[in-house]
Amino acid sequence: MHKGFQHAEGTFGVVPATRTAPAARPRATAPVNASRITRPVQQRLVLAVIYAGGLAVLGLWWKDTTAVHNLGDILTNAGRISGLLAAYGFVVLVGLMARLPPLERGVGADRLARWHAMGGRYVITLVTGHVLFITWGYAVTAHQSVTKQAATFLTSYPDMLSATVAFLLLLLIAAISARAARRMLPYEAWYYAHLLTYASIALAFSHQLSTGASFVDNQAARVFWTLMYAVVAGLILWYRFVTPLRMFARHRFTVVGVHEETPGVVSVYIGGRDIDKMRVEPGQFFRWRFLSRELFWGSHPYSLSALPRPDMVRITVKARGHHSGSMAHLRPGTKVIAEGPYGAFTPSLSGRRVLMIAGGVGITPIRAMFAGLPRRMSEGVVLIYRASHPREIVFRRELDQIAADRNATLHYIIGSRARLGYDPLAPEEISAMVPGLHRYEAYVCGPNGMSEAAIESLLALGVKRRHIHHETFDF
Ligand SMILES: Cc1cc2nc3c(=O)[nH]c(=O)nc-3n(C[C@H](O)[C@H](O)[C@H](O)COP(=O)(O)OP(=O)(O)OC[C@H]3O[C@@H](n4cnc5c(N)ncnc54)[C@H](O)[C@@H]3O)c2cc1C
């Protein structure tokens, strides 16, 4: 346990008045931030491992490549390289989403999701290149048309039919994932269609070993490649399926009560056993699957909005769509499967002062951090809470109490920019509220537009990017 964080809260400020919440037990000990290396270093390390794997794949291609003489050879080799890199890319993409705790903590779920989305575009391009170049290259070498060569592949080469189905499936997934199409689909529909990628990867696997020039006569490469796929499949099974069920068996998460904080925003109190044994840091989130008939199918991320107690946690949710909008109707006793804790948006305890900027429901992780910062930091803690209307301020009483307890500075900035007549997050406004900004570590969470404006101002004021931490609620 890290000594830096304050002990967890005995109550969360407002315990649901209408439903019974378990009595406060002895307080949980502090959440942990055990990481010694800073997150940018961890991120670079992960990228270095990914690039090193890419180089090893190129080495595999090089080893089995004889002299390149003509156009057919050039095209075929372009197809081989792109195919090998794409096959490796799939392993990386799936690995990034395997919910591996070191990645989730060290890199952060939002960054992993961004890498996954960006990598996905490269991999689709590589697969398409592979299909085109290989077919064209073989056609040139065999002195026949590309269509005839494609037919030869389908009829005479092992596992090519399943590989073709895999490619078509991938194109479909790519079309569904395109931004315009994604905007039109409910998140859940997009998500489950996206899972077809696993089927596509499985269908394409065997043709790599049975027709890939790097594998046909290389038993060691075949074993290594199969192991690489098997390990990632094992990680997915373990962390995405087995771990949440084990957590459920161990902690028995159950909805205890729901409390309306402000119109459209509710806090859900979730009871459980031995929550203090989990390594939860303030600012982190879980993926929650509520086992009610209508919510069973979706697992959604929500941050803890208070430090956990040994017997209860709290999330606070703004109604935005189907899932978040249903939170207000959750019944006490509903069982919950929780996956986590995830996220790298946690106080780094670097010894620097702390500036937190929250907007709207982005206050949730920041509320937990505000309560969890070590007391010795009292004087160097500033929270700026931005909302367009007084009714959007969540946790006002709790925040005032925490600020008073620890002698921290709390600024509420309420009203639209038009109404205020100025931009309250412009550099000159922030520096007036927080003198000596260069001594601060900044944490920003709120609507994307607000967060971007705040980050730009901080950068303009000379705060280094590595001292600015940002959580987005949109993956
Ligand atoms: C790390 C993180 C922490 C969050 N913490 C909170 C919080 O404390 N309080 C709060 O009110 N909201 C939080 N959110 C946002 C919350 O997850 C979404 O508002 C909610 O999932 C929307 O689902 P919906 O069905 O209500 O709306 P939809 O209309 O289906 O979705 C609206 C948008 O929410 C995002 N979203 C939806 N489902 C998921 C999902 N399963 N995984 C990732 N993104 C999804 C997508 O960008 C989508 O476009 C958090 C999001 C993230 C990524």
Rounded distance between C-alpha atoms, residue 159 and residue 164, angstroms: 9
- Mutational test site, ligand 1, from 97, 320, 445, max ligand atoms within 8 Å of CB: 320
Sign of CA dihedral 446, 448, 454, 458: positive
Q: Which atom of ligand 1 is nearest to the CA of 343?
A: 1
CA 415, 284, 94: angle at the middle one, nearest 5?
115
The pLDDT tens digits along the chain (475 residues) read 333 344 446 555 443 333 334 333 333 333 333 333 456 788 899 999 999 999 999 999 998 887 778 999 999 999 999 999 999 999 999 999 999 988 988 888 888 989 999 999 999 999 999 999 999 999 999 999 999 999 999 999 999 999 999 999 999 998 888 877 778 887 778 888 888 999 999 999 999 999 999 999 899 999 999 999 999 999 999 999 999 999 999 999 999 999 999 999 999 999 999 998 988 999 999 999 999 988 998 899 999 999 999 999 999 999 998 899 999 999 999 999 999 999 889 888 778 899 999 999 999 999 999 999 887 766 789 999 999 899 899 999 999 999 998 889 999 999 988 888 889 999 999 999 999 998 999 999 999 999 999 999 999 999 999 899 999 887 6
CB 279 within 8 A of CB 338: no
Cα 83 to ligand 1 centroid, rounded to whole Å: 35
Q: Locate the ligand 1 atom nearest the alpha carbon of residue 317 and give its number.
A: 11
Q: Which segments of 229-352 are extended strands (E)? A: 254-262, 265-271, 285-290, 300-303, 312-318, 336-342
Cβ pair 358, 446 in contact under 8 A? yes
Residue 432, CA distances (Å) to 121, 152, 160, 424, 461 in order: 43, 72, 66, 10, 11
Q: Where do we find the tokens 């689909």?
A: 185
Q: What's the CA gap between 82 and 214, in Å, rounded?
A: 13
